[in-house]
Homo-oligomer: A and B are copies of this chain.
Amino acid sequence: MILRLTTLIFIMAVSSVNAVHASELLVEKKSFTTKNFATVSGEVIPEVTIGWEAYGELNEAKDNVILITHFFSGNSHAAGKYTPNDPQSGYWDAIIGPGKAIDTNKYYVLSSDTLVNAFPHLPHVITTGPASINPKTGKPYGLDFPVVTIRDFVNVQHALITSLGINKLHAVVGASMGSLQALEWSVAYPDMVERMVSVIGAGAMDAWTITALEHWARPIKLDPNWNHGNYYDGEAPLQGLASTLTMITQQAMHPVAFNQSSPKQETLPQAALESVTNGLPATDFWFGAAAKNAPLADANHILYLVRANQLFVAGHEQDLATGLSKVKAKTLFLPAKNDLLLQPYLAKQAVEILKEQDKAPQYAEIDGIFGHLDGVYNIQSKATELAEFINQ
């Protein structure tokens, strides 16, 4: 179980594979640059570069495109492998590939990195954010990087898509933070999006989630190495970052899976009884794993991701109903029944509004013991519903 768990942490931190669904897709990471990108916050970023990858073939009409948008700690590697010996496939390899629910024999499946990716130091992640070089100073932006929103992520993807001559998306599908992008796509560009699938998602952040996200930011801000975002010449705030990553991992899970994945604690472990500064088996395990991943992440990027999520309400209109009134796509919402991070009430809120607007949203709950992560680990349990929705 411990071995399994290493993968488990890794999925949150990086991307993942389910060995059962070993992929045959070979994937190439590509890069897209757009200049003078205007943000929702009213700033201009001189140059934005993000990574993307694609599975399947673009047809001549360029109307067989499915866009995949990624979760908070993920990246564009949604399916396939970069090399045949790659130990991991993309995180949704179970449902993306030849003959799978999102069938790459039919569709051109394009998956995009976001701005301010949490793990900019991972080899295959291409992103622009506070850790990127500010062309004006020749140094990393740090907190001079403008605050960005989910809409900004979508607008970068829009620039990518249109640069490829694509004007129509057969579907946009995303999990967690990816679901926010998928929904935002259908509000921001309603005439381009035909289908929208929100997995473990929400229509708008509520105070509960905004405050929960703030707890992810606090350990970073409290770490003296954070130094108000100026750490690129010195030590990164890795201790705070490790706390944050552990919190993300735990909140993305449900106690059942978390307990099964944790080492057992003997009664009154000697070290823990000697000092409150010593760890316990479970805390050493989870915080230790996060500490190993922390150097791949960037603390400021995580603060920016937190903020992008905190500001989310689909459409950025005065209320969710006004935003959702613009949606023309068919919609499918797949929250996870045991999700403790974005609980099903959040998806239900959007569904109820869409129903009132006579838009016939579809809704089904993913069961499982992983909680929020069931949107990744157990997505194949909804493969039939997903395929029917995509192909309808």
Which residues of A pack against B, CB within 8 Å? 40-41, 143, 147, 149, 205-212, 214-215, 217-219, 221-224, 228, 239-240, 243, 246-247, 250, 255, 258-259, 262-263, 265-269, 272-277, 279-283, 286-287, 300, 303-304, 306-307, 310-311, 313, 316-319, 340, 343, 345
**A272 touches which one: B207, B279, B307 (CB < 8 A)?**
B307
Given A215-B247, A276-B307: 13 more A-B contacts, CB < 8 Å: A208-B262, A211-B250, A211-B282, A211-B283, A212-B250, A214-B287, A215-B250, A219-B243, A228-B277, A267-B313, A267-B316, A272-B307, A272-B311
Residue in B206, B210, B214, B219 whose beta carbon sits within 8 Å of that of A218 in the complex: B219
Q: Which B residue's beta carbon lies closest to that of A253? A: B208
Q: Which residues of B contact A215 (CB under 8 A)?
A: 215, 243, 246-247, 250
Chain B residues near A313: list those with CB within 8 A: 267
A293 CB to closest chain B CB (Å) equals 16
Are B243 and A310 within 8 A (Cβ)?
no
- Contact (Cβ within 8 A) B208 A259: yes
Kindly list chain B residues whose C-beta atoms are within 8 Å of the C-beta of A281.
207
Q: Which residues of B contact A266 (CB under 8 A)?
A: 318
CB distance from A266 to the nearest CB of B (A): 8
Evaluate contact between A239 and B268: CB separation under 8 angstroms: no
Nearest B residue (CB) for A286: B211
CB <8 Å contact, B214 and A262:
no
Taking a contact as CB atoms under 8 Å apart, the answer to whether A206 and B272 are in contact is: no
The answer to whether B246 touches A211 (Cβ under 8 A) is yes
Smallest Cβ distance from A230 to chain B, in angstroms? 12
Which B residue's beta carbon lies closest to that of A209?
A: B255
Q: A149-B268, A222-B243 are in contact. Are A283 and B210 (CB under 8 A)?
A: yes
Distance of A249 Cα from B306 Cα, bound (Å) = 20
Name 12 interchain pairs, CB-CB below 8 A, sorted by A.
A147-B274, A207-B259, A208-B255, A210-B265, A212-B250, A215-B215, A219-B219, A222-B239, A267-B318, A272-B310, A273-B311, A276-B304
